[in-house]
Amino acid sequence: MKQAAYTAKDLLSMNLSCLPGSERGIQLRLKTDSCCLMITEKCRGGHAYRYIADTLPEAVKTAITMYELRRDGELTLTVNSQLPIKSASKAAAKANLNQSQIENALAKADLVKLYTQWMASAPWGGKDRARTDFMLAYTGNAWPKLKDLLGPEISWKTIERWKNEISANKGDCLAIADRRGYAKRGKSIITEAQAKIILACVLHPNRPRISESIRMAKAVMHARGLENGHSEATYRRWVDTWKSKNYHIYVFNREGAKAWNDKCAKDIMRDYSLINVGDIVVADGHTLNFETINPWTGKAKRMTLICWIDMKSAYPLGWEIMPTEDTAAISSALRRSSIRLGKYPKLGYLDNGRAFRARFFESCPSFEEAGLTGLYDRLGMKTIHAWPYHGQSKTVERFFGTLAELERWCPTYTGTSIEHKPPRMMRGEKLHRKVYEKAFGDSALTLEQTHVALAAWFDEYVTRPQRGHLNGATPQEVFEAGRGPGIDQAELDLLMMSVEIKHINKNGITFQGEKYYHPALYGRRHPVVVRYDLQDTSALHIFEKDGTFLCSATPPELVHPAATVLGSDEDRERLSNQIEFMRGQEKEASASARAFLEQEVMPAHQQRLAQIGILPQPQDSAGQSSKIKHLPKPIATLSIAEAEVAMAEGEQRIADQDDYDAAILRQRLGKMDEMDRYEALIEMQVRGVALCRDWQAFVDYFEATPYYAKYKEHYDEHRARVSIMYQMEASN
């Protein structure tokens, strides 16, 4: 120290780490040290204090000395002068050292140089005192950079050892580089044979635990005579290291292609700036995670939401709720989407499910003969389908994930997955179940309430600013900016009509199990094009193949089975009108047939009989044979009473046949067990077959058994499935 005394301001300017960072702090620190003496001097405005240098704490004196040496250029923190930087780099490359090891070695060399200079300035007999002062200076943060690199736990003996190693290696400071942990880095004690066995166990598709895989691998090694003395932790570290570098193989083998696609495959990024609102609409079905009353059965179940979303704005356009994903729901949602959009979409991005690939929506070869195509083509839409089991390609999947926040607030929430079920649905949670039953019982949202809840949530959702391609804008803002001017709903209704090819029979056309008739169909037996509205099947519009309109067929008027005896005046009048209509058709057919019979059939028939000698050749007035001109009188038509007698006889014959069929059926059902017999009777009821008293009694008995109560849901689903199959068969 070159000065005899220092003020607090002088000490602050030195920026000593062992003292506080303010003058007042330094004064308080030195004032508490009883050994520190100071000189008081008068100055303008008060007194000034100077601290005698020799009485300062040892750490402060050492720090002041280092500061003055660095200031005067007598001490520099450089690499050992005996080893230039260039040669150090070459030596480091030769010694296979990384940058961290080089920096550590150079820091050690600098500390050795400082230590050497410090000890050289020590007086005779003061070496021990100098070592102590040097270590106090080091721990007192006189050289903070070196301390950060090397750490505080260093002794003078360690520095002496580094000094001797550098001297022994002719001044090569890299000789003291830290090589601990680097000698075997990149190498493994697990042999190749052991690695193959471990991977075979770890990558098993049954996804065993890693601990189980290691135990199995060690057993296999033992059986094959391989060394397996490593600990489980060693094998586990090796597996973790291999997994970190081969995660795609790990996931594909243990979890399958779907998990690999979700966790490892790179996503294809879309450029949404290239499309406008309405260019692409995305559709998919989502089973709601809460229960709604099914209006068709009156029971609560998880309904299916069909939703169309605009890809550009992420705006939900139209939706429908149905028990299952079917073409009726998709059609209804698409119609509402077109109205909301104000124009027809250009492209439909669809799910790969069965309902979206139905004939109703895509071009069907059977329609080509009528010049008709699927619904999307009629609307001017192109269609593309998402990859199977690839939810990332459908932006609507992310929307359904956000919809879960509405589902979680519904009273009949069932959970978004098995892991996220509410407590009332888990085993042993009796209290939660009792609280739920007391609060809600068997109540659930109606279909109308579900529609209202979804509409309210949609309205709130479209006002949220969103990240991604919307860049903080709301779906509402983007959608309104690109919305169309509107469409003609009458034109839309015509385009939305489904198209099928049907054949005309005597009762008109059979569609979805119902009969449709119009007088214009009488006498025709050829395929026609049928257009109909899925939302309103009260009438079918019938066209010729060339597009000529024939008629609009409606369900026929039904009559009382015994109108003349049990019916009212209206029933009898309705029956009379039906009979008159049938007579009119009969007269039309019989008049034409009689004329054809008189003019063509009978003359030719009698002529052939005469030629073979059964009848004499007819002669005219001149004695020449001529054509037969007198025909037998036609058979008179039956009266109403005679027709009713004939019908009664026919019904009796049918009843006799039905008795025979019933006996065969009774024999077949009698051989079944109770479960199969009940399912067969369910199918008969669905198909409209009236059960006899015995079979109805069996149905009542079976439905009262504990077995039926336990599996009631299964039989309800079976009844619904048979009903749907029967309707599909009837429609085909």
For 302-365, the three-class secondary structure string (H helix, E strand, C coil) is: EEEEEEEEECCCCEEEEEEEECCCCHHHHHHHHHHHHHHHCCCCCEEEECCCCHHHCCCCCCCH
Task: Please report, in angstroms and rounded to a whole number, the separation of the first and last CA atoms in the chain.
Answer: 109
Higher pLDDT: 91 or 393? It is 393
What pLDDT does 250 receive? 93
What pLDDT does 125 receive? 81
State pLDDT tens for residues 414-460.
887 777 888 887 888 888 888 878 777 777 888 888 989 999 999 99
Q: Is pLDDT above 80 for 370?
A: no
Closest CA to 497 of 550, 539, 526: 539
Higher pLDDT: 643 or 29? It is 29
Mean pLDDT in the chain? 77
Q: How confident is the model at residue 364 (pLDDT cuts 50, 70, 90)?
A: very low
Task: Give the separation between CA 566 and CA 563, rounded to whole angstroms.
Answer: 5
Q: How confident is the model at residue 24 (pLDDT cuts 50, 70, 90)?
A: confident
**CATH number 1.10.10 given to 192-263:** yes
The class level of CATH for 497-553 reads mainly beta
Closest CA to 522 of 553, 557, 499: 553
Closest CA to 374 of 284, 500, 278, 549: 500
State pLDDT tens for residues 654-710.
455 455 455 656 667 767 777 878 888 888 887 777 777 777 888 888 888 888 887
- Rounded to a whole number of angstroms, the CA Rg of the chain reads 49
Q: Quick one: tokens of 503?
A: 């054949």
Higher pLDDT: 74 or 83? It is 74
Q: Is pLDDT above 70 for 26?
A: yes
Domain coordinates in residue numbering, the chain = 5-176, 192-263, 277-410+445-482, 497-553, 574-630, 672-731
User: Looking at residues 15-20, what average pLDDT do you find?
Assistant: 75
What pLDDT does 68 receive? 73
Span 277-410+445-482: which CATH code? 3.30.420.10
State pLDDT tens for residues 315-336.
999 888 888 766 767 777 888 8
What pLDDT does 75 receive? 45
Q: Which of 37-41, 490-494, 621-625, 636-640 has the highest mean pLDDT?
A: 37-41
User: Looking at residues 66-79, what average pLDDT do you find?
Assistant: 56
State pLDDT tens for residues 220-279.
999 988 888 888 999 999 999 999 999 999 999 999 888 888 888 887 788 888 999 999
Q: How confident is the model at residue 377 (pLDDT cuts 50, 70, 90)?
A: confident
State pLDDT tens for residues 627-647.
444 434 444 444 455 555 555
Per-residue exposure over 74-103, b if at least 16 CB sit within 10 Å of its own CB, e if not: ebeeebbeebeeeebeebbeeeebeeebbe
What pLDDT does 660 receive? 46
Lowest mean pLDDT among 113-127, 223-237, 443-457, 522-536: 522-536
State pLDDT tens for residues 468-503.
888 889 999 999 999 988 888 777 766 666 667 888
What pLDDT does 89 receive? 46
